[in-house]
Amino acid sequence: MVFSGKAGTPSGSVFVWAPDKATKGPVSIIMSAPDRKIYVYRNGVEIGRAPVDGFETIRLSGTYVYAADTTIDSNGQRDWISTASVGKRPPDLKDLEKRISTDPSYLQDIRALISPGTTLILTNAPVTNQTHGAPGFSILNAG
């Protein structure tokens, strides 16, 4: 897949940020442990991806889905609601944030998109063309 937009090199790997590919619609964020990447989709279109350091310290045993809450704690961190899980108990997101890292600029771009209802998916499955399914696949879209 060809990307355009901002790019950088955290840990020697390229990250991509192209929010103009989809300017409106719901946001979904997928963190894949085997890929060691954070993917960002808006209205079902991939607008970003970046490597994540520290995933080797996380033992995900399934897939966990969260929705961004309206509240933000005293440290400025958004609260998330665990909405579904396949596997063991869902990971504590605030602890997870302390243990993993990605390019700060990319993280800032993601945080700017998060609003109540944004979906976050943590998974021990890779994100591949086969996981996308048939043409027209979307994570979450406004249509």
* SS3 track for 53-95: ECHHHCCCCCEEEEEEEEEECCCCCEEEEEEEEECCCCCCHHH
| Identity of the amino acid at 63 | T
| Identity of the amino acid at 75 | N
Q: What structural domains does the chain harbor?
A: 6-127 (2.40.440)
pLDDT digits (tens, 9 = 90+) for 44-102: 899 999 998 887 777 778 899 999 999 888 877 788 888 888 877 788 887 787 888 88
Which helix (H) or strand (E) segment is 107 a member of?
A: helix 104-113
How many residues belong to the chain? Answer: 143
pLDDT digits (tens, 9 = 90+) for 34-49: 899 999 999 989 999 9
Name the band, by pLDDT with cuts 50, 70 and 90, for residue 1. Answer: very low
Tokens 């605030």, residue located: 94
- Of 10 and 109, more confident: 109
Task: With a cut of 50, say whether residue 9 has pLDDT above it.
Answer: no
Distance CA 37, CA 122 (A): 10
Q: What is the pTM of this model?
A: 0.80
Secondary structure of residue 1 in the 3-state scheme: coil
> Could you tell me the two tokens for 36?
């060691």
CA torsion through residues 38, 43, 44, 46, sign:
negative
pLDDT digits (tens, 9 = 90+) for 106-121: 888 998 999 999 999 9
Mean pLDDT confidence for 18-40: 93
Angle 117-74-96 from CA coordinates, rounded to 5°:
65
- Residue 12: what pLDDT? 52
